Amino acid sequence: MSKVLMPLAAGFEEIEALTIVDVLRRAEIEVVIAGLMPGPVSGAHAISVVPDTMIDTVHPDAFDMIVLPGGQPGTDNLNANTSVHALLKEFAAKNKLIGAICAAPIVLAAAELLSGKRVTCYPSYIERLSGGIYEDAAVVSDGTIITSQGPATSIEFGLAIVARLTSQTTSAGISRSMLVPDPQSHLWHPGLFNSVIQALLGALELKDAYTQGQARRVAEYSLSIGLKLKLPAIEMRDLYLGAMLHDTGKYNTAEDVLNKPDSLNLSEETLTREHTLKGTLFVVGMNDLDFIVPTILHHHEHWDGTGYPGRLKGEQIPLHARIVAIADAFDAMISNRSYRDRVDKDAALRELVKYKGSQFDPFIVDVFIECLNDSPFEKKDFSFYF
Would the pLDDT of 1 be above 70?
yes
In sequence order, what are the beta bridge partners of 147? Answer: 100, 140
Using omega within 30 degrees of 0 as the cis cutoff, is the peptide bond preceding 309 cis? yes
Of 156, 185, 214, at which residue does a domain stop? 185
Nearest to 93 by CA among 119, 111, 68, 120: 111
pLDDT at residue 279, rounded to an integer: 79
Q: How far apart are CA 358 and CA 326, in angstroms?
A: 12
Same-domain status, 68 and 98: yes
Q: How far apart are CA 160 and CA 241, in angstroms?
A: 36
pLDDT at residue 126, rounded to an integer: 97
Would the pLDDT of 379 be above 80?
no
Same-domain status, 161 and 252: no
Q: How far apart are CA 292 and CA 245, in angstroms?
A: 9
Q: Which amino acid is at 329?
A: A
Q: How far apart are CA 4 and CA 54, in angstroms?
A: 14
| Segment 162-188 mean pLDDT | 84
Q: Which residues are catalytic?
A: 102
pLDDT at residue 386, rounded to an integer: 44
Same-domain status, 177 and 323: no
Would the pLDDT of 380 be above 60?
no
pLDDT at residue 383, rounded to an integer: 46
Same-domain status, 95 and 151: yes
Domain around 304: 189-385
Same-domain status, 286 and 360: yes
Same-domain status, 172 and 199: no
Longest dimension (CA), the chain: 94
Would the pLDDT of 377 be above 50?
no
Alpha-carbon torsion, ordered 327, 330, 336, 342, to 10 deg? -170
pLDDT at residue 378, rounded to an integer: 46
* Residue scoring higher pLDDT (202 or 237): 237
| Segment 127-146 mean pLDDT | 95
Same-domain status, 217 and 122: no
Q: What is the DSSP string of 304-349?
A: TS--SSS---GGGS-HHHHHHHHHHHHHHHTS-BTTB----HHHHH
Same-domain status, 195 and 261: yes
Of 185, 204, 224, at which residue does a domain stop? 185
Mean pLDDT of the chain: 87
pLDDT at residue 247, rounded to an integer: 83
Coil, strand or helix at 34? strand
pLDDT at residue 28, rounded to an integer: 97
Same-domain status, 171 and 266: no
| Segment 35-45 mean pLDDT | 97
pLDDT at residue 276, rounded to an integer: 82
Dihedral (CA of 311, 313, 316, 320) sign: positive
CATH code for position 124? 3.40.50.880
* Residue scoring higher pLDDT (262 or 314): 314
pLDDT at residue 261, rounded to an integer: 57
Dihedral (CA of 209, 212, 218, 224) sign: negative
Q: Which of 34-43, 170-179, 208-217, 263-272 has the lowest mean pLDDT?
A: 263-272
CATH code for position 196? 1.10.3210.10
Q: How far apart are CA 139 and CA 119, in angstroms?
A: 8
Q: Is the pTM of this model over 0.75?
A: no
Same-domain status, 220 and 267: yes
pLDDT at residue 201, rounded to an integer: 73
Same-domain status, 215 and 137: no
| Segment 136-158 mean pLDDT | 96
Confidence label for 385 from pLDDT (cuts 50, 70 and 90): very low
pLDDT at residue 132, rounded to an integer: 95
Confidence label for 250 from pLDDT (cuts 50, 70 and 90): confident
Would the pLDDT of 45 be above 80?
yes
Of 151, 185, 219, at which residue does a domain stop? 185
Q: Which of 26-40, 258-272, 315-329 has the lowest mean pLDDT?
A: 258-272
Number of domains in the chain: 2
Q: Which of 57-61, 229-233, 330-334, 339-343 has the lowest mean pLDDT?
A: 339-343
Same-domain status, 297 and 341: yes
